[in-house]
Structure 1
């Protein structure tokens, strides 16, 4: 009985650390909000967030460091989730995808967007509204978005299948739908001529990612017992 109680205490402590790491990562991933406080010449309606920490930008260190912190927190948090909590197929996929998201976010910061000279081979040809898609930064960004989408869908399905984690079933799913709508907005607009406020769409998408991370952190913190039984 003493052993079970001690084990439960350790699980609660680990759950607290995992939840804190995820929550802080979620807050750091919303560092783009600083564009409204810092003297930065950006157009939130049309500019992509990658331009905030692009090469040569005055506050690149601020936004790049925030992304690195996100990755450095989520990688051990995801590993902790795999090691501490009970293994289920969907949650295993979710934690693994979250780990990939953390690694991709670090790579995002290490491979920033850079200005392309006409004809530069590293950038390829024109790609409509997404000319930066020919840069290595595009690959890391795509991996990051795909990874957190897989994580969110996996945990959402798990919450319904296992009848647990009410926060993820309700608030988490609502945020996932919002982020998915913004992603569809961007994908459709990329194939149309003209401007469709893609900067706003991406900010909604990234904002939804931060909110979902906070929802996951809250679920781990408040419903730790459900992750282990």
Structure 2
């Protein structure tokens, strides 16, 4: 005996709410770095990197690492739920898988923190360039996490236009995408120039835009749940 359409729709709505809440909380927890402005931490916001906040031996390391752990732990079931609950389309499938990779990479990021060698406190890391921490294993997990969520942002943004749905992702989501992409270009270009070029600010804008986009995605899931649930017509 199959469930009635009303029961199926109700379950889908409950599922969409659970997924949305998980994504929103993950976005908030991933922005735990803003606590650096409230806690008694002496940080050079202009030139320091966020990885330094939860580096080994740093004060309040557990505060920032816990925020990342919660974000990653929530994103894994949320992305799997998105794959199972919502219509399977090429772009959105890529987006959910990318978010799953983001969650797993972030957990690895926390498990392999930056060592005491951090550019923000003047340590000699024994490597040249503006990103000496890239010579540590932590760099791989960080790169995977950023790349994964970047793929997710692009995939969902393209899906919003391709399938003519999810207006909030077409408007606010794209603005956040441009903001984050600009900060990323800022960092990539500055890495090949002599000087610091306020890379700490660039990274904070980049990571902040990631959190904002996750919250925007959560809002899209809630506000337009019916469109997520209904089949998408082929175009």
Residue equivalent to 2:69: 68
Between 123-132 and 58-67, report the one with greater CA deviation: 123-132
- How far apart are residue 225 of structure 1 and its match? 1.1
Which residue does the alignment assign to 1:186? Answer: 187
SS in 1 for 2:53: helix
Aligned equivalents of 2:35 and 2:20: distance in 1? 24
Q: Which residue of 1 aligns with 2:146?
A: 145
Q: 1:29 maps to which residue?
A: 30
Whether contact under 8 Å (1:125, 1:134) holds in the other structure is no
Asked whether 1:103 is paired with 2:104, we answer yes
- Deviation of 1:61 after TM superposition, in Å, equals 0.5
Deviation at 1:212, TM superposition (A): 0.2
Q: For 1:212 and 1:104, locate their aligned partners in 2 and report how far apart those are by CA, in whole Å.
A: 18
Q: Is the 8 A contact 2:117 2:125 kept in 1?
A: no
DSSP 3-state at the match of 1:38:
coil
Q: Please state whether the residue corresponding to 1:176 is helix, strand or coil.
A: helix
Structure 1 unmatched runs, 5+:
118-122
- Compute the displacement of 1:207 (Å): 0.4
CA deviation after TM superposition for structure 1 residue 127, in Å: 3.5
Structure-to-structure mapping, 1:1-229, within 5 angstroms: 3-116=4-117, 126-229=127-230
Ranges of 4+ aligned residues in structure 1 off by more than 3 Å? none
Displacement of 1:116 in angstroms is: 4.2
Question: Contact between 1:48 and 1:199, CA under 8 Å: does it hold in 2?
Answer: yes
**1:115 to partner: Cα distance:** 2.5
On the 8 A contact 1:15/1:220 being kept in 2, the answer is: yes
**TM-score of the aligned structures, taking structure 2 as reference length:** 0.93
Question: Equivalents in 2 of 1:98, 1:4: separation in Å?
Answer: 29
What is the number of residues matched between the two proteins?
224
Q: CA RMSD in A?
A: 1.6
Aligned-partner SS, 1:53: coil
Q: How far off is 1:67 after superposition?
A: 0.4
Distance 1:163 1:202 in 2: 32
- List per-residue Cα deviations over 1:53-77 (Å, max 9, x = no partner): 0000011101001101011000000
In 2, the alpha carbon distance for the partners of 1:11 and 1:32 equals 34
Secondary structure of the corresponding residue to residue 45 of structure 1: coil
